[in-house]
A and B are shown apart, each in its own frame.
Chain A
Amino acid sequence: MRQTDVVLGIARKEFGDRLRNRWIWTVSALLVAAALAVAFFGAAPVGVVGVQRAGAAMASMMNLTLYLVPLLALVMGCGAVIDEKRRGTLDLILVHPLSPGEYFLGTFLGFALALSAAVATGLALSGVALRAWAGVSVPEYLVLVVLALALGAAFLGLSFLLSILSRDRGRAVAVSVLVWICAVFVFDLALVGALILSKGDVPAGLFGALLLLNPTDAFRMLCFRWVGSAASPLGLSAEMPAAPSAALSAGALLLWGVLPLLLSYVLFARRAAEDRLV
């Protein structure tokens, strides 16, 4: 029970610290501003103006989420361990009666809750506007919000891994931005390039499996499966033959949420024991 208090105490402090950060609210506000633009000016970002307003709005929100949430999670979490180490507070914390695992869990919880609060706030305010002006479906929008939170958790786990592997904050931020560019742009371009080079002669199963190697694509696949209105303006059917199933996509996103976090925990605990953190 007492150890639970300690974990919650760390989570509460980290949550409070993150909420004081202007960066996360800037991204959250950007999400709202973009949603308002989508509601007012149609869905130009996805090439649809004036028709299927709800679907176009959902597709736009899906894309915005896809770009902004990973960036927010990566930049937010990449300093998690480095900042504490640089300040000297990490050593002080670890000399208290708690295990590295408890510290790690509390920190991740705090970060995840703060990220969720920022993303949920941004999407909730956007949702109100989109419901009023574009008539988006509330249940579908809620699914998008839940998927956005899962996407954020996956990239937060990755950012913790980068935080432990990087020597200083500058490098951690640089690598985070690189990971974001790869996940959001380069990976899909590489897949398209491979398709072009092979003249489309890529087995559908392999193509689907490759998509799951990227959490943003797993998120996108789930949106196409579960947020039908987001798929239609993009000319995509929920029954794409090459796309992995919803269960596979959900499993992949879950694994992306769990594996980097688990790996970063193992690395953290090992390096803490060996006094090799950062």
Chain B
Amino acid sequence: MIRLEGISKRFGPVEALRSVDLEVRRGEWLGLFGHNGSGKTTLIRILVGLSQPSAGRLLIEGREPDREGWRAFRRRLGFMPERISFYEHLTGEETLRYFARLRGAGGERVMQALEGVGLGGAARRRVGEYSKGMQQRLNLAQALIGGPEVLVVDEPIEGLDPEGTREFFRLLRSGEGRTVVLSSHRLSEACGQVDRACVLSRGEVRALGGVEELSRALRLPIRVHLYPAGSVNGALEAALRRLGAVSVLKGDGRLVAEVPQSEKIGFLTGLDAFRGEIRYLRVEEPSLEEVYFAAD
């Protein structure tokens, strides 16, 4: 659907993006992850046409968009910028009516969109009186108005508490089959939401794929947490090493074995022989954080 080929972006001597190749597939949720200054926002600005790449090309539906191409794409696009301060003197309804008009969406969808994000009751209040969470909902409502096929959201959960974050993703999920590109540096909250993750570091794509796919590619081990029936003993630790664990850590009445993905099945099958000695076990797959730090 959207393809970036060899995209680079320079700001004077600073190279914000270096030869980025990336494809956004129709209907997928793609997460852009990276620390501050990794190039996420620059990439998003290029994706929505706010910034032109210094090198490389961007293809939408297989062709480089000209002026009319951008116009057509933007009719299908919803954008939620990271930082925005809406017009304080306008009400929520007036704000949304304005942006709906810019998108060519009917005014009748305004109240529907406000109610969709839980701002129906505050529609006639001035935006200056809205809390941060309400402003964020209004930001989402303006992005969703007109039912865009593609939604690009830049750091959407920044500043939201866990409850607000969960609510935000619930609202974002309301549109079926929508293509979503979201950037975040809050990996733990966002990683469960995306189909694929793109880890950016110093303007380069360091890893791209599903979390499992990435952890395999980066050869990240799984962790098996074992709680022995008796006391932690050296015999069990030695047995775990024989079964393929590359390291075994002891502490808090348990053993944590790091096992390469390639040894996973054999290791878990081998544990059956120690059934009587193990009270409980838990398998921990590599997290996106680990992928992120391994790729960085």
Which residues on A are within 8 Å of B, measured CB to CB?
Answer: 2, 5-6, 9-10, 13, 17, 20, 87-89, 91-99, 273-275
CB of A204 to closest CB in B, whole Å? 50
Nearest-neighbor residue (CB-CB) of A277 within chain B:
B50
A10 to B81, CA, bound (A): 20
- Shortest beta-carbon distance from A8 to chain B in Å: 9
- Among the listed B45, B84, B104, which residue makes an inter-chain contact with A97, where contact means beta carbons less than 8 Å apart? B104
User: Could you tell me if B86 and A89 are in contact, using CB atoms closer than 8 angstroms?
Assistant: yes
Interface residues of B in 83-126 (CB under 8 A from A): 83-87, 89, 98-99, 101-104
30 A-B pairs (CB sep. < 8 Å): A6-B101, A6-B104, A9-B98, A9-B101, A9-B102, A13-B98, A17-B87, A20-B89, A87-B84, A87-B85, A87-B86, A88-B83, A89-B84, A91-B50, A91-B81, A92-B79, A92-B84, A95-B48, A95-B49, A95-B50, A95-B74, A95-B77, A95-B79, A96-B103, A97-B75, A273-B52, A274-B52, A275-B45, A275-B50, A275-B51
B45 partner residues in chain A, CB cutoff 8 A: 91, 275
Could you say which of B49, B71, B75, B142 contacts A92, with CB atoms under 8 Å apart? B142
* Least CB distance, A150 to chain B, in whole angstroms: 30
- Are A93 and B102 within 8 A (Cβ)? yes
In the complex, what distance in Å separates the CA atom of A6 from the CA atom of B79?
Answer: 18
Q: Which residues of B contact A5 (CB under 8 A)?
A: 101, 104
CA distance A13 to B100 in the complex (A): 13
Cβ distance B63 to chain A, nearest Cβ, rounded Å: 17
Complex: how many Å from CA A13 to CA B96?
12
Whole-angstrom distance between the Cβ of B60 and the nearest chain A Cβ? 13
Question: B170 within 8 Å of A by Cβ?
Answer: no
Chain A residues lying within 8 Å of B74, measured Cβ to Cβ, are 95-97
Which residues on B are within 8 Å of A, measured CB to CB? Answer: 45, 48-52, 67, 71-72, 74-75, 77, 79, 81, 83-87, 89, 98-99, 101-104, 142
Question: Which residues from A are CB-within-8-Å of B98?
Answer: 9, 13
Best-surrounded residue of A20, A89, A96 (most CB of chain B within 10 A): A96
Q: How far is the CB of B64 from chain A (nearest CB, A)?
A: 15
How far does the Cβ of A112 sit from chain B's closest Cβ, in whole Å?
19
The residues of A that contact B71 with a CB separation of less than 8 Å are 97-99
- Tell whether A88 pairs with B81 under 8 Å between CB atoms, given A20-B89, A275-B45: yes
Query: Which of A2, A87, A97, A274 is most buried by chain B, counting CB atoms within 10 A of its CB?
Result: A97
Closest to B104 in A: A2
Return chain B residues, CB-CB under 8 Å to A95: 48-50, 74, 77, 79
Closest chain B residue to A84, Cβ basis = B87
Contacts of B48 in A (CB 8 A): 95
Which chain B residue shows the least CB distance to A96? B102
Determine the chain A residues whose CB is within 8 A of the CB of B51 once the complex forms.
Answer: 275
CA distance A88 to B99 in the complex (A): 14
For A275, the chain B residues whose CB sits under 8 A away are 45, 50-52
CB distance from A40 to the nearest CB of B (A): 37
Across chains A and B, which 10 residue pairs bring their CB atoms closest together, nearest first? A275-B51, A88-B84, A96-B102, A9-B101, A97-B74, A95-B79, A87-B85, A97-B71, A97-B75, A95-B48
Looking across the interface, which residue of chain A has its beta carbon closest to that of B89? A20
B77 surroundings in chain A (CB, below 8 A): 95
User: What residues of A have a CB within 8 angstroms of the CB of B85 in the complex?
Assistant: 87-89
Are the C-beta atoms of A17 and B81 separated by less than 8 Å? no
**Considering the chains assembled together, what is the distance between the CA atoms of A87 and B88 in angstroms?**
10
The residue from B50, B67, B72, B83 contacting A94, defined by CB atoms under 8 A apart: B50
- CA distance in complex: A6, B105 (Å): 11
Shortest CB–CB separation between residue B282 and chain A, in angstroms? 44
